[in-house]
Amino acid sequence: MLSVRNAVAIGVLALAGALIAAPAAGAAGVRTVSAGGVVKVGMVHCAASEACAVKPRPKRIAGKAEGRKVKARVVVPSVLGPGGKAPVKLRFGAGALERLAGHSTSFHARVLVKGSGRQSMQVFKVTLKRPDLAPKSATPGGSVPKAPGGNGAPNGEGAHSEPVSGEAPPLARPLTARTVERVGIKWFPRTSWLAYVATGEGTTTTGGATSVFSTVAPCPAQPGSNEGGGSSSGVSLPFEIDFTPTESWFDPATGAAAINGTGSVSFRFKGHGIDLTGSDPEIQINGASSQAVFRFSGSEGTPYPDQRVALLKLATTAPTQEGNTYTYNLLRATLTPDGEKVFAGFYAAPTNNGFGCVSASFTVP
Protein backbone atom coordinates (compact mmCIF):
# COMPACT_ATOMS: atom_id res chain seq x y z
CA MET A 1 0.00 0.00 0.00
CA LEU A 2 1.25 3.49 -0.84
CA SER A 3 2.11 5.46 2.28
CA VAL A 4 1.13 9.08 2.73
CA ARG A 5 4.83 10.06 2.78
CA ASN A 6 5.51 8.28 -0.53
CA ALA A 7 2.43 9.85 -2.10
CA VAL A 8 3.59 13.31 -1.10
CA ALA A 9 7.09 12.60 -2.45
CA ILE A 10 5.68 11.48 -5.81
CA GLY A 11 3.54 14.61 -5.96
CA VAL A 12 6.57 16.83 -5.34
CA LEU A 13 8.56 15.05 -8.05
CA ALA A 14 5.70 15.45 -10.50
CA LEU A 15 5.50 19.19 -9.77
CA ALA A 16 9.27 19.53 -10.21
CA GLY A 17 9.03 17.75 -13.56
CA ALA A 18 6.40 20.28 -14.66
CA LEU A 19 8.64 23.18 -13.74
CA ILE A 20 12.01 21.94 -14.96
CA ALA A 21 12.37 21.48 -18.68
CA ALA A 22 14.96 18.98 -19.89
CA PRO A 23 18.35 20.38 -20.85
CA ALA A 24 18.38 21.40 -24.49
CA ALA A 25 21.08 21.20 -27.13
CA GLY A 26 21.64 22.91 -30.45
CA ALA A 27 21.02 20.92 -33.60
CA ALA A 28 23.88 18.78 -34.90
CA GLY A 29 26.13 20.16 -37.61
CA VAL A 30 27.61 23.58 -38.25
CA ARG A 31 25.38 26.61 -38.68
CA THR A 32 26.24 29.71 -40.67
CA VAL A 33 25.93 33.15 -39.09
CA SER A 34 24.11 35.50 -41.46
CA ALA A 35 25.24 38.97 -42.47
CA GLY A 36 22.81 40.42 -39.91
CA GLY A 37 24.79 38.76 -37.11
CA VAL A 38 21.85 36.84 -35.58
CA VAL A 39 21.52 33.05 -35.48
CA LYS A 40 19.00 30.77 -33.75
CA VAL A 41 20.62 28.05 -31.64
CA GLY A 42 17.59 26.31 -30.13
CA MET A 43 14.29 26.64 -28.27
CA VAL A 44 13.82 27.35 -24.56
CA HIS A 45 10.79 25.74 -22.89
CA CYS A 46 8.59 26.39 -19.88
CA ALA A 47 6.94 23.09 -18.97
CA ALA A 48 5.18 24.50 -15.91
CA SER A 49 1.48 25.13 -15.42
CA GLU A 50 2.31 28.78 -14.75
CA ALA A 51 4.59 31.40 -16.30
CA CYS A 52 8.38 30.98 -16.09
CA ALA A 53 11.05 33.65 -15.73
CA VAL A 54 13.84 33.26 -18.28
CA LYS A 55 17.36 34.65 -18.02
CA PRO A 56 20.62 33.94 -19.89
CA ARG A 57 23.52 33.04 -17.62
CA PRO A 58 25.67 34.84 -18.63
CA LYS A 59 24.23 37.36 -21.08
CA ARG A 60 27.47 37.40 -23.10
CA ILE A 61 29.39 34.30 -24.14
CA ALA A 62 32.55 33.78 -26.14
CA GLY A 63 34.26 31.28 -28.41
CA LYS A 64 37.72 31.40 -29.97
CA ALA A 65 38.82 31.73 -33.58
CA GLU A 66 42.55 31.58 -34.26
CA GLY A 67 43.19 32.41 -30.61
CA ARG A 68 40.96 35.52 -30.70
CA LYS A 69 37.79 35.80 -28.64
CA VAL A 70 34.53 35.99 -30.56
CA LYS A 71 31.80 37.36 -28.29
CA ALA A 72 28.03 37.06 -28.69
CA ARG A 73 24.99 38.24 -26.74
CA VAL A 74 22.41 35.61 -25.78
CA VAL A 75 18.93 36.84 -26.71
CA VAL A 76 15.83 35.28 -25.08
CA PRO A 77 12.46 36.63 -23.85
CA SER A 78 12.35 37.42 -20.13
CA VAL A 79 9.06 35.57 -19.52
CA LEU A 80 7.39 32.49 -21.01
CA GLY A 81 3.73 31.58 -20.51
CA PRO A 82 2.67 28.20 -19.13
CA GLY A 83 3.87 25.51 -21.51
CA GLY A 84 5.43 28.17 -23.73
CA LYS A 85 8.58 28.08 -25.78
CA ALA A 86 10.70 30.64 -27.61
CA PRO A 87 13.86 30.74 -29.73
CA VAL A 88 17.29 31.26 -28.21
CA LYS A 89 19.43 33.46 -30.44
CA LEU A 90 23.01 34.67 -30.47
CA ARG A 91 23.68 38.22 -31.69
CA PHE A 92 27.16 39.15 -32.97
CA GLY A 93 28.52 42.65 -33.41
CA ALA A 94 30.50 43.81 -36.43
CA GLY A 95 33.88 43.10 -34.79
CA ALA A 96 32.85 39.58 -33.80
CA LEU A 97 31.60 38.86 -37.32
CA GLU A 98 34.97 39.97 -38.69
CA ARG A 99 36.89 37.69 -36.29
CA LEU A 100 34.59 34.77 -37.06
CA ALA A 101 34.94 35.15 -40.84
CA GLY A 102 36.62 32.11 -42.38
CA HIS A 103 36.40 30.08 -39.14
CA SER A 104 34.10 27.77 -37.21
CA THR A 105 33.74 28.12 -33.44
CA SER A 106 31.77 26.37 -30.70
CA PHE A 107 29.51 28.26 -28.31
CA HIS A 108 27.66 27.17 -25.15
CA ALA A 109 24.61 29.26 -24.21
CA ARG A 110 23.01 28.65 -20.83
CA VAL A 111 19.49 29.83 -20.04
CA LEU A 112 18.00 29.75 -16.54
CA VAL A 113 14.27 28.94 -16.35
CA LYS A 114 12.51 29.58 -13.01
CA GLY A 115 9.01 28.95 -11.69
CA SER A 116 7.39 28.26 -8.26
CA GLY A 117 10.73 28.23 -6.50
CA ARG A 118 12.14 25.57 -8.84
CA GLN A 119 14.59 26.21 -11.63
CA SER A 120 16.53 24.51 -14.41
CA MET A 121 19.50 25.43 -16.56
CA GLN A 122 18.90 24.72 -20.24
CA VAL A 123 22.14 24.43 -22.21
CA PHE A 124 22.53 25.01 -25.95
CA LYS A 125 25.70 23.81 -27.66
CA VAL A 126 26.31 24.90 -31.22
CA THR A 127 29.14 25.23 -33.72
CA LEU A 128 28.93 28.31 -35.89
CA LYS A 129 30.81 29.44 -38.97
CA ARG A 130 31.04 32.52 -41.13
CA PRO A 131 32.33 32.53 -44.72
CA ASP A 132 35.62 34.22 -45.49
CA LEU A 133 34.39 37.53 -46.88
CA ALA A 134 37.64 38.77 -48.38
CA PRO A 135 37.53 38.46 -52.17
CA LYS A 136 40.22 36.08 -53.44
CA SER A 137 41.37 38.55 -56.08
CA ALA A 138 41.48 41.56 -53.76
CA THR A 139 44.75 43.48 -53.71
CA PRO A 140 45.69 46.69 -51.86
CA GLY A 141 44.46 49.60 -53.89
CA GLY A 142 42.44 47.28 -56.12
CA SER A 143 39.03 48.03 -57.53
CA VAL A 144 35.93 48.16 -55.37
CA PRO A 145 33.61 45.28 -56.37
CA LYS A 146 30.20 46.09 -57.71
CA ALA A 147 27.60 46.87 -55.08
CA PRO A 148 24.18 45.21 -55.35
CA GLY A 149 21.94 47.44 -57.40
CA GLY A 150 24.92 49.62 -58.30
CA ASN A 151 26.79 50.33 -61.50
CA GLY A 152 30.23 49.12 -60.43
CA ALA A 153 33.53 50.59 -61.50
CA PRO A 154 33.62 51.70 -65.12
CA ASN A 155 35.94 49.73 -67.41
CA GLY A 156 37.06 47.58 -64.47
CA GLU A 157 39.03 50.45 -62.94
CA GLY A 158 38.98 51.25 -59.24
CA ALA A 159 35.96 53.24 -58.06
CA HIS A 160 36.64 56.06 -55.61
CA SER A 161 34.64 58.70 -53.79
CA GLU A 162 35.23 62.16 -55.23
CA PRO A 163 35.22 65.30 -53.06
CA VAL A 164 33.18 68.27 -54.22
CA SER A 165 34.49 71.79 -54.71
CA GLY A 166 33.34 73.79 -51.71
CA GLU A 167 30.98 72.84 -48.90
CA ALA A 168 27.19 72.90 -49.03
CA PRO A 169 25.99 76.06 -47.23
CA PRO A 170 23.36 76.06 -44.47
CA LEU A 171 19.88 77.21 -45.40
CA ALA A 172 19.57 80.96 -44.86
CA ARG A 173 17.28 81.74 -41.90
CA PRO A 174 14.58 84.38 -42.60
CA LEU A 175 13.88 87.07 -40.04
CA THR A 176 10.37 85.64 -39.56
CA ALA A 177 11.66 82.14 -38.67
CA ARG A 178 11.02 80.68 -35.21
CA THR A 179 13.16 78.26 -33.22
CA VAL A 180 11.32 74.93 -32.87
CA GLU A 181 11.12 72.26 -30.18
CA ARG A 182 10.66 68.46 -29.93
CA VAL A 183 12.67 67.91 -33.08
CA GLY A 184 13.01 64.46 -34.68
CA ILE A 185 15.34 63.43 -37.53
CA LYS A 186 15.36 59.95 -39.08
CA TRP A 187 17.27 58.63 -42.09
CA PHE A 188 16.28 55.39 -43.81
CA PRO A 189 19.20 54.61 -46.16
CA ARG A 190 18.83 52.54 -49.32
CA THR A 191 18.04 48.91 -48.40
CA SER A 192 20.42 47.29 -50.92
CA TRP A 193 23.28 49.46 -49.58
CA LEU A 194 22.60 48.40 -45.98
CA ALA A 195 22.42 44.74 -46.99
CA TYR A 196 25.66 45.09 -48.96
CA VAL A 197 27.76 46.60 -46.16
CA ALA A 198 26.20 44.12 -43.68
CA THR A 199 28.24 41.40 -45.39
CA GLY A 200 31.31 43.33 -44.22
CA GLU A 201 31.68 45.21 -40.94
CA GLY A 202 28.26 46.79 -41.43
CA THR A 203 26.63 49.97 -40.15
CA THR A 204 27.51 51.57 -36.80
CA THR A 205 26.32 54.74 -35.06
CA THR A 206 28.14 57.03 -32.61
CA GLY A 207 28.09 60.50 -31.07
CA GLY A 208 24.33 60.89 -30.64
CA ALA A 209 23.05 58.78 -33.54
CA THR A 210 21.32 55.44 -32.90
CA SER A 211 20.44 52.49 -35.13
CA VAL A 212 16.95 50.99 -35.07
CA PHE A 213 17.04 47.36 -36.25
CA SER A 214 14.14 45.52 -37.84
CA THR A 215 13.43 42.88 -40.47
CA VAL A 216 11.10 45.09 -42.49
CA ALA A 217 12.16 48.39 -44.06
CA PRO A 218 9.92 51.34 -43.09
CA CYS A 219 10.91 52.87 -46.45
CA PRO A 220 10.41 50.10 -49.02
CA ALA A 221 11.83 50.44 -52.51
CA GLN A 222 9.76 52.15 -55.16
CA PRO A 223 8.40 49.84 -57.86
CA GLY A 224 10.89 49.30 -60.65
CA SER A 225 13.87 50.57 -58.64
CA ASN A 226 16.98 48.70 -57.51
CA GLU A 227 16.89 50.04 -53.97
CA GLY A 228 16.16 46.62 -52.45
CA GLY A 229 12.99 45.10 -51.09
CA GLY A 230 11.06 46.05 -47.99
CA SER A 231 12.09 42.84 -46.22
CA SER A 232 15.51 41.52 -45.28
CA SER A 233 14.33 37.88 -45.36
CA GLY A 234 14.23 37.59 -41.60
CA VAL A 235 17.63 39.24 -41.06
CA SER A 236 17.58 42.29 -38.81
CA LEU A 237 19.19 45.37 -40.39
CA PRO A 238 19.58 48.99 -39.17
CA PHE A 239 16.91 50.33 -41.53
CA GLU A 240 16.42 53.48 -39.42
CA ILE A 241 19.11 55.91 -38.20
CA ASP A 242 17.95 58.43 -35.57
CA PHE A 243 19.95 61.59 -34.81
CA THR A 244 20.01 63.75 -31.69
CA PRO A 245 18.41 67.14 -32.51
CA THR A 246 20.21 70.45 -32.29
CA GLU A 247 18.86 73.99 -32.69
CA SER A 248 16.41 74.08 -35.60
CA TRP A 249 13.99 76.59 -37.11
CA PHE A 250 10.78 76.92 -39.14
CA ASP A 251 9.48 79.92 -41.04
CA PRO A 252 5.64 80.07 -40.98
CA ALA A 253 5.66 82.73 -43.69
CA THR A 254 7.39 80.61 -46.34
CA GLY A 255 7.20 77.06 -44.99
CA ALA A 256 11.00 76.78 -45.08
CA ALA A 257 12.76 74.91 -42.27
CA ALA A 258 16.22 73.75 -41.23
CA ILE A 259 15.97 70.64 -39.05
CA ASN A 260 19.40 69.96 -37.60
CA GLY A 261 20.90 66.96 -35.83
CA THR A 262 24.13 65.58 -34.42
CA GLY A 263 25.67 62.12 -34.44
CA SER A 264 27.44 59.90 -36.95
CA VAL A 265 26.65 56.78 -38.98
CA SER A 266 29.48 54.75 -40.51
CA PHE A 267 29.35 52.22 -43.35
CA ARG A 268 32.30 49.82 -43.46
CA PHE A 269 33.25 46.88 -45.65
CA LYS A 270 37.00 46.56 -45.19
CA GLY A 271 37.38 43.71 -47.68
CA HIS A 272 35.87 45.89 -50.40
CA GLY A 273 37.63 49.13 -49.52
CA ILE A 274 34.59 50.93 -48.08
CA ASP A 275 34.85 53.22 -45.05
CA LEU A 276 32.37 56.13 -45.09
CA THR A 277 30.96 58.19 -42.22
CA GLY A 278 28.09 60.69 -42.43
CA SER A 279 27.50 63.12 -39.56
CA ASP A 280 25.45 66.09 -38.34
CA PRO A 281 22.56 66.15 -40.83
CA GLU A 282 20.69 69.30 -41.81
CA ILE A 283 17.30 68.63 -43.38
CA GLN A 284 16.57 71.68 -45.50
CA ILE A 285 12.84 72.03 -46.26
CA ASN A 286 12.73 74.53 -49.09
CA GLY A 287 10.12 73.59 -51.69
CA ALA A 288 11.58 72.03 -54.84
CA SER A 289 15.09 72.72 -53.51
CA SER A 290 14.65 70.59 -50.38
CA GLN A 291 17.68 68.47 -49.56
CA ALA A 292 19.58 66.65 -46.81
CA VAL A 293 23.10 67.89 -46.07
CA PHE A 294 25.62 65.72 -44.19
CA ARG A 295 29.24 66.11 -43.18
CA PHE A 296 31.02 63.16 -44.79
CA SER A 297 34.46 61.68 -44.34
CA GLY A 298 35.96 58.53 -45.80
CA SER A 299 39.08 56.47 -46.36
CA GLU A 300 40.43 53.44 -48.28
CA GLY A 301 38.59 53.10 -51.60
CA THR A 302 36.09 55.77 -50.50
CA PRO A 303 38.31 58.72 -49.53
CA TYR A 304 36.46 61.88 -48.57
CA PRO A 305 37.93 64.99 -46.90
CA ASP A 306 35.51 65.65 -44.00
CA GLN A 307 33.29 68.27 -45.63
CA ARG A 308 29.61 69.18 -45.84
CA VAL A 309 27.88 67.83 -48.91
CA ALA A 310 24.30 68.09 -50.18
CA LEU A 311 23.86 64.32 -50.24
CA LEU A 312 20.14 63.83 -50.93
CA LYS A 313 17.48 65.62 -52.92
CA LEU A 314 14.14 65.33 -51.10
CA ALA A 315 10.72 65.03 -52.71
CA THR A 316 8.67 67.11 -50.29
CA THR A 317 4.92 67.22 -49.81
CA ALA A 318 2.83 69.23 -47.38
CA PRO A 319 3.51 68.10 -43.80
CA THR A 320 0.91 66.52 -41.61
CA GLN A 321 -0.06 68.89 -38.80
CA GLU A 322 -1.46 68.20 -35.35
CA GLY A 323 -1.79 71.45 -33.46
CA ASN A 324 1.62 73.11 -33.68
CA THR A 325 3.47 69.87 -34.53
CA TYR A 326 4.59 69.37 -38.13
CA THR A 327 5.73 66.01 -39.54
CA TYR A 328 7.39 65.30 -42.87
CA ASN A 329 7.15 61.53 -42.99
CA LEU A 330 9.24 59.31 -45.27
CA LEU A 331 10.25 61.90 -47.83
CA ARG A 332 11.69 60.05 -50.83
CA ALA A 333 15.40 60.71 -51.32
CA THR A 334 17.65 60.50 -54.37
CA LEU A 335 21.37 61.08 -54.48
CA THR A 336 22.37 64.50 -55.79
CA PRO A 337 25.25 64.64 -58.29
CA ASP A 338 27.53 65.39 -55.33
CA GLY A 339 25.96 62.52 -53.39
CA GLU A 340 26.75 60.15 -56.26
CA LYS A 341 30.40 61.15 -55.92
CA VAL A 342 30.36 60.27 -52.21
CA PHE A 343 29.20 56.74 -53.07
CA ALA A 344 31.87 56.31 -55.73
CA GLY A 345 29.47 56.36 -58.67
CA PHE A 346 27.75 53.11 -57.69
CA TYR A 347 24.28 54.66 -57.80
CA ALA A 348 23.87 56.90 -60.81
CA ALA A 349 20.98 59.02 -62.08
CA PRO A 350 18.53 59.01 -63.64
CA THR A 351 17.24 55.52 -62.81
CA ASN A 352 19.47 54.15 -60.06
CA ASN A 353 20.06 56.99 -57.59
CA GLY A 354 17.15 56.29 -55.22
CA PHE A 355 18.53 56.27 -51.69
CA GLY A 356 15.73 55.63 -49.22
CA CYS A 357 13.81 58.21 -47.22
CA VAL A 358 14.13 60.98 -44.64
CA SER A 359 11.64 61.93 -41.91
CA ALA A 360 11.60 65.15 -39.87
CA SER A 361 9.25 66.52 -37.25
CA PHE A 362 9.10 69.55 -34.92
CA THR A 363 6.79 71.62 -32.78
CA VAL A 364 6.43 75.42 -33.11
CA PRO A 365 6.14 76.92 -29.58
Q: Per residue in 188-199, pLDDT tens?
A: 999 989 988 998
Alpha carbon 35 to its chain's center: 11
Amino acid at 248: S
Q: Grade residue 1 by pLDDT with cuts at 50, 70 and 90.
A: very low
* pTM of the full structure: 0.60
Number of H helices, E strands in the chain: 4, 23
Task: State how far the Cα of 71 lies from the Cα of 150, in Å rounded to an integer.
Answer: 33
Q: Percent of the chain, pLDDT > 90?
A: 41
Report the candidate in 255, 262, 340 with the shortest Cα–Cα distance to residue 294: 262
Task: State how far the Cα of 92 lies from the Cα of 96, in Å rounded to an integer.
Answer: 6
Poorest-pLDDT segment among 61-65, 193-197, 231-235, 298-302: 231-235
Map out the domains of the chain as residue ranges: 21-130, 168-363
Look at residue 32 and give its three-state secondary structure. Answer: strand
Look at residue 19 and give its three-state secondary structure. Answer: helix
| Beta partners for residue 73, in sequence order | 60, 91
pLDDT in tens, 71-82: 888 988 877 777
Look at residue 231 in the predicted model and tell me its pLDDT.
Answer: 61
The neighbour count for residue 254, using CB atoms within 10 Å, is 13
Question: Mean pLDDT for the chain?
Answer: 81
Residue with the bigger pLDDT between 118 and 343: it is: 343
Look at residue 152 in the predicted model and tell me its pLDDT.
Answer: 38
pLDDT in tens, 256-279: 999 999 999 999 998 888 999 999
Task: State how far the Cα of 130 lies from the Cα of 127, in Å rounded to an integer.
Answer: 11
Rounded alpha-carbon distances, angstroms, from residue 311 to 283, 333, 342: 10, 9, 8
Phi, psi at 86, each rounded to 5°: -155, 155
Look at residue 159 in the predicted model and tell me its pLDDT.
Answer: 56
Look at residue 79 in the predicted model and tell me its pLDDT.
Answer: 77
Does the pLDDT of residue 96 top 60, yes or no? yes
pLDDT in tens, 337-349: 999 999 988 888 8
Q: Grade residue 21 by pLDDT with cuts at 50, 70 and 90.
A: very low
Q: Which residues contact 54 (CB under 8 A, 6 or more apart)?
A: 44, 46, 76, 77, 78, 79, 80, 86, 111, 112, 113, 114
CATH class of 21-130: mainly beta
Contact 163, 172 (CB under 8 A): no
Contact 285, 360 (CB under 8 A): yes
Q: Cis (ω within 30 of 0) for the bond into 163?
A: no
DSSP letter string, 232-275: -TT--EEEEEEEEE-S-EE-TTT--EEEEEE-EEEEEEGGGTEE
Look at residue 194 and give its three-state secondary structure. Answer: helix
Poorest-pLDDT segment among 52-61, 146-155, 241-250, 337-346: 146-155
Does the pLDDT of residue 22 top 70, yes or no? no
Phi, psi at 317, each rounded to 5°: -125, 175
Look at residue 11 in the predicted model and tell me its pLDDT.
Answer: 38
